[in-house]
Structure formats: C-alpha cells, structure tokens
C-alpha cells in the first residue's frame, strides 16, 4: 500500500468517526451496529449466489465479501469489528489486509456467527430479520439515520476518489483487451474472458454483470448473455464493464464499429463521444443533474438532425419524445461502493427527489456539489420496441437511414467524473 493511500485511508476513517459521532448525537443515539449481510443458499441447495457486503459496512472496511459480521460504532471508542472467521478446513481463513483500518479497529475473530452487544440507545442497520430479539432491542433501520448515512456516502473523501480512480485504471486495461479481442473477431464470451483477464478479476468479483453486446445486442440496454460463437458479420461492439478496488466501483462503457458497420454508425459513435465530452465539461458545482440530462436530449436532437435521421426541428425531436425513444435511460448516476450509489433520488435532508415524469429512468436528481462522483453516459440505440410506435405517426423521421442501424444495436459512452471545487475531474483514463 502506498504511503499516500495509507494516509488517505486514515483521514477517511477519522472523517467517518467524526461524522458518525455527530450523526449519532443528532439522532439521539449512543451507538449503531451495522450488519455485513450474508448470502442465502439457493432454495434446496447448499450453494449460494455471489454476495456484496452492505454499503455502510464497506464504507469502513472496504471489503466487498465480508459476511455474517458486525461493526459497532460509538463516539470516542475505536470501531469494533466482530468478524465471522470460522475454524473451517474447507476454506482459506479470512485474511485481513495490511491497511490502517485493521490496526485502528478492535477486531474480534469469531468462530461462531457473532451478535453485537448493544450499547445505550442503539440503532441496528443492515439486512437482518426485524423480528429477531436484536432488532427488537434496538431501533431497527431507523430511516432518518439511514438517509443521513446515505447522504454521507454521496460525498467522497480523497481516499474514496483515489480508490475510484484505481478501479478505473484497472477497468480500462480490461476495455483495451476487449477492443483487441473484437478486432480479432472474438465471440462475446471470449471478449468477456479477455476483459476479466486483463482487468485481473474473476467474474464473481465484478461490481455488476459486464454487458458485452455484439451487433444488435449492443441495443439491449442490460444485455445479459455471452454468445459462444463469433457472428459472421461484425457491425458493432458495446462493452459496459467495471472493476472494484477496495470496494469502490468503476462503471465504464465503450462502443466500437466493426468492419461491416455503415459509415453512419461510425459517425454516430464520434458524435456520441463528442456529446459525452461536452456533458463532462458541463459538470460543475451548482449544476442541476436534471438540467444536464435535458441538455443531453437537446444535443441528441442536434445529432439526429446533423445525421439526417430527423428532418424536423430540435424542439420537435425533444418535445415529441423522439430523442427519448433513441435514448430511454438516464444521463448517469452516483457512483461509489455501489455502482448505482445511494441518495441519488433524495434531497440532502433525506426527503424524496424522484425522477421527473418524462424521465423515469433517471437515477440522480441532485444539484451537483464538490465530492460527488457521477457517471456521464449518453447513449443512442436502435430499440425496435420503442421505435415501432413512432412509425405510425407522421413524423419527419428518415426511416430508411434509421433502419441502416438495426444491425448495430446502439452506442453508449460512459466515464466516471468527480465534481471538484470549481469544475470536474475525469477519472476514466
Ligand atoms: N453498468 C450499468 C450502468 O451503466 O448504469
Ligand atoms: Mn452507469
Ligand atoms: Mn455502465
């Protein structure tokens, strides 16, 4: 661990201890016990799905795979970690990293699944059965406290930004390998395997299921398969793939034209790349993310017109929902210990800030402030289900050109951006 990352983590922990102390006081609590969570085996089986530690637990320890463990936070006391570490010859025992948190916590290795001792007026948060005695003895999942802890996670410390930056660097090595595999005419599964190898991770460690879509699969927003064979025609590849570092997620998308793509698709990739850069440069403190999302739609309208896909006005393209048919998802979201991080749809005081009716998929409705980390991910897709209703209307859409894109599926370009004091910093190399 580099000296600077070591010091940054210490500062991060000091910040958490101070802020938790203040929040416990303002919520009239003496302690909070945070449960890591655990994976339940599949029904009737002894095998469990992949697991991710509860975000508020990870905020302290940065390990995404801790289960059956508790963390107790109290003012003026070192954090207490009750770590489930069974004497078990089936598995390698839990290995604690050489990081400052290990020396700054009181750690109890527990051979049985532990339960925390509640101190004073206690809150218990995490995925536990609310009817258990522990939950009944405490304030279970008090929403005002959870909202305040979510809000704390919205603003990243310098340590967290360093981790997100490292996650981006590692993910980008995967993206370069994926592009090379595409040039080598690989199948979706081979591109996924090349990505995992180059980004040094196994599939169960990815922060979300990588989206590797060749040809029309690039137009399926969360395409969930990996084809085993390479298609004879190679029009396009969309790779939306990440990496964790100390629990923190990268979420990066790149799109490539193949040898069989029409020039229209290549031009659109350039245009969406340019659109991404323009939107990234607009990220700054005080900017409303909803306004930035609306700016994306106005600029998408310009792209439709510039490429002769739409022969009306930009206003008409936006007002009649044409840009939304070509890009039905939000401009981006908060990013951190969860790929779609918490508090994106709440005001700072915890009250709901839902997505606008016209943009229900938007996951971030906040005013940008320094320390927030967001994705900027404009897209442009050929989605038959969304285009079909437009065909029955008399709209100046150049369908013969639009339909040239059917085999290419879509385009998304996604970078990870920190809001700084005066502007922004792009974490994606
Ligand atoms: N990878 C999912 C997303 O971009 O939000
Ligand atoms: Mn994203
Ligand atoms: Mn993504």
pLDDT digits (tens, 9 = 90+) for 386-396: 999 999 999 99
Q: Which residues sit with Cβ closer than 5 angstroms to ligand 3, an ion?
A: 240, 251, 253, 414
| 116 lies in the same domain as 260 | no
- Same domain, residue pair 240 and 365: yes
Looking from the CA of residue 211, the nearest atom of ligand 1 is: 1
Residue 308 near residue 21, CB atoms below 8 Å: no
223 and 349 belong to one structural domain: yes
Residue ending a domain, among 118, 139, 154, is 154
Which class for 162: exposed (0-12), middle (13-18), buried (19 or more C-beta within 10 A)? buried
Dist. CA 378 → ligand 2 center (Å): 10
Confidence of residue 88 (pLDDT cuts 50, 70, 90): confident
208 ligand 1 Cβ < 6 A: yes
Q: Is 341 in the pocket of ligand 1 (CB under 6 A)?
A: no
Cα of 339 vs centre of ligand 1, distance in Å, is 7
Cα gap 279→426, rounded to integer Å: 11
| Percent of the chain residues topping a pLDDT of 90 | 97
Identify the domain boundary among 154, 185, 204: 154
Predicted local distance difference test score (pLDDT) of residue 3: 77
What would the mean pLDDT of 30-38 be, rounded to a whole number? 98
CA 398 / ligand 1 centre spacing (Å) = 30
User: Distance from CA of residue 119 to its chain's centroid?
Assistant: 34
pLDDT tens sequence across 228-266 = 999 999 999 999 999 999 999 999 999 999 999 999 999
Is the shortest distance between the CB of 271 and ligand 1 below 6 Å? no
Judged against a pLDDT cut of 90, whether residue 271 lies above it is answered with yes
Query: Is residue 128 domain-shared with residue 174, that is, in the same domain?
Result: no
Q: Is the CB of 150 under 6 A from ligand 1?
A: no
What's the pLDDT score for residue 119? 86
Radius of gyration of the chain (CA): 23
Instruction: Give the chain's domain count.
Output: 2
Mean pLDDT over the full length of the chain: 97
Distance 335 CA to ligand 1 centre (A): 10
414 CB near ligand 1 (under 6 Å)? yes
Nearest to 12 by CA among 59, 53, 52: 59
Do 353 and 279 belong to one domain?
A: yes
The verdict on 91 and 172 lying in the same domain is no
Domain encompassing residue 20: 3-154
**Using H for helix, E for strand and C for coil, what is the string for the chain?**
CCHHHHHHHHHHHHHHHHHHHHHHHHCCCCEEEEECCCCCCCCCCCCCCCCCCCHHHHHHHCCCCCCCCEEEECCCCCCEEEEECCCCCCCCCCCCCCCHHHHHCEEEEECCCCCCCCCCCEEEECCCCCCCHHHHCCEECCHHHHHHHHHHHHCCCHHHHHHHHHHHHHHHHHHHHHHHHHHCCCCHHHHHHHHHHHCCCCHHHCCCCCEEEEHHHHHCCCCCCCCCCCCCCCCEEEEEEEEEECCEEEEEEEEEECCCCCHHHHHHHHHHHHHHHHHHHHCCCCCEHHHHHHHHHHHHHHHHHHCCCECCCHHHHHHCCHHHHHCCCCCCCECCCCCCCCCCCECCCCCECCCCCCCCCCCCCCECCCCCEEEECCEEECCHHHHHHHHCCCCCECHHHHHHHCCCCEEECEEEEEECCCCEEECCC
Mean pLDDT of 262-291: 98
| Interval 57-84 mean pLDDT | 97
Residues 238, 94 within the same domain: no
- Tell me how far apart the alpha carbons of residues 142 and 56 are, in angstroms, rounded to a whole number: 14
pLDDT at residue 82, rounded to an integer: 97
Averaged over 280-299, what is the pLDDT? 98
Same-domain pairing of 59 and 206: no
Residue whose CA is closest, atom 4 of ligand 1? Answer: 251
Q: What is the pTM of this model?
A: 0.98
Q: Give the ligand whose atoms come closest to the C-alpha of residue 416.
A: 2
CATH number for 131 = 3.40.350.10
**pLDDT tens column, 407-425:** 999 999 999 999 999 999 9
Is the domain of 332 the same as that of 397?
Answer: yes
Distance CA 341, CA 284 (A): 19
Spacing, Cα 251 to ligand 1 middle (Å)? 6
Same domain, 175 and 319: yes
Of 84, 119, 154, the last residue of a domain is 154
Q: What is the pLDDT of residue 155?
A: 99
116-145, pLDDT tens digit by residue?
988 899 999 999 999 999 999 999 999 999
Token digits of residue 385? 């289900």
Q: What percent of the chain has pLDDT over 70?
A: 100
The answer to whether 215 and 347 have CB atoms below 8 angstroms apart is no
Task: Specify whether 200 is located in the same domain as 113.
Answer: no
Which three-class secondary structure string do you get for 41-57?
CCCCCCCCCCCCCCHHH
Task: Answer yes or no: is the C-beta of 377 below 6 A from any ligand 1 atom.
Answer: yes
Task: Report in angstroms the alpha-carbon separations of 157 from 8, 23, 108.
Answer: 8, 17, 27
Residue of minimum CA distance from atom 3 in ligand 1: 251
**Ligand 1 atom closest to Cα of 340?**
5
Place of tokens 């929040």: 23
> Does residue 41 register a pLDDT over 90?
yes
Confidence label for 69 from pLDDT (cuts 50, 70 and 90): very high
Q: How does pLDDT run across 315-360, given as a tens digit for each residue?
A: 999 999 999 999 999 999 999 999 999 999 999 999 999 999 999 9
Q: State the Cα–Cα distance between residues 331 and 297, nearest whole angstrom.
A: 9
Q: Ligand 1 pocket check: which of 207, 253, 411 to mutate, most ligand atoms within 8 Å of Cβ?
A: 253
Q: Which of 209, 224, 240 to mutate to test the pocket of ligand 1 (most atoms within 8 A of CB)?
A: 240
In this prediction, residue 1 carries a pLDDT of 67
Residue numbers belonging to the annotated binding site for Mn(2+): 240, 251, 333, 377, 414
Q: Find the 387 Cα to ligand 2 centroid distance in Å.
A: 23
* 143 vs 60: CA distance, rounded Å: 20
The reply to whether 202 and 140 lie within a common domain is: no
Token couple for 71: 């963390």
In ligand 1, the atom with minimum distance to the C-alpha of 329 is 5
240 lines ligand 1 (CB under 6 A): yes
Question: CATH number for the domain including 227?
Answer: 3.90.230.10
Nearest-angstrom CA–CA distance, 117 and 101:
21
Q: Are 177 and 198 in contact (CB under 8 A)?
A: yes
Instruction: Report whether pLDDT(91) > 70.
Output: yes
Contact 251 CB / ligand 1 (< 6 Å): yes
């Amino acid at each position: 661990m580099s000296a600077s990352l070591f010091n940054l983590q210490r500062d991060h922990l000091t910040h958490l201890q101070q802020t938790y102390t203040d929040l416990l006081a303002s919520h009239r609590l003496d302690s909070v016990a945070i449960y890591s969570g655990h994976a339940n085996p599949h029904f009737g089986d002894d095998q469990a799905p992949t697991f991710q530690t509860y975000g508020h637990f990870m905020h302290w320890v940065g390990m995404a795979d801790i289960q059956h463990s508790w963390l107790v936070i109290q003012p003026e006391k070192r954090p207490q970690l009750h770590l489930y570490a069974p004497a078990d010859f089936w598995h390698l025992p839990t290995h604690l990293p050489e990081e400052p948190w290990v020396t700054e916590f009181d750690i109890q290795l527990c051979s049985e699944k532990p339960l925390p001792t509640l101190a004073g007026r206690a809150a218990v948060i995490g995925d536990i059965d609310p009817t258990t005695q522990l939950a009944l003895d405490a304030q279970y999942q008090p929403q005002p406290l959870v909202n305040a802890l979510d809000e704390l996670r919205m603003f990243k410390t310098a340590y967290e930004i360093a981790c997100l930056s490292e996650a981006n660097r590692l993910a980008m090595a995967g993206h370069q390998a994926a592009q090379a595999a595409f040039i080598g005419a690989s199948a979706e599964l081979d591109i996924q395997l090349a990505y995992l190898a180059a980004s040094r991770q196994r599939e169960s460690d990815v922060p979300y299921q990588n989206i590797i879509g060749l040809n029309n699969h690039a137009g399926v927003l969360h395409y969930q398969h990996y084809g085993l064979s390479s298609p004879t025609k190679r029009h396009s590849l969309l790779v939306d793939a990440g990496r964790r570092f100390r629990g923190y997620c990268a979420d990066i998308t790149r799109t490539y034209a193949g040898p069989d793509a029409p020039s229209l698709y290549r031009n659109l990739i350039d245009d969406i790349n340019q659109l991404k850069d323009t939107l990234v440069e607009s990220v700054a403190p005080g900017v409303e993310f909803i306004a930035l999302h609306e700016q994306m739609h106005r600029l998408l309208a310009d792209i439709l017109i510039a490429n002769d896909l739409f022969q009306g006005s930009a206003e008409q393209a936006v007002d009649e929902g044409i840009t939304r048919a070509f890009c039905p998802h939000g401009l981006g979201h908060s990013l951190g210990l969860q790929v779609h991080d918490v508090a994106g749809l709440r005001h700072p005081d915890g009250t709901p800030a839902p997505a606008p009716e016209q943009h229900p998929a938007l996951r971030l409705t906040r005013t940008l402030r320094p320390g927030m980390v967001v994705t900027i991910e404009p897209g442009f897709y050929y989605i038959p289900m969304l285009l079909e209703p437009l065909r029955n209307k008399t709209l100046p859409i150049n369908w013969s050109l639009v339909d040239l894109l059917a085999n290419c599926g879509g385009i998304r370009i996604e970078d990870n951006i920190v809001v700084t004091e005066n502007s922004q910093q792009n974490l994606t190399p």
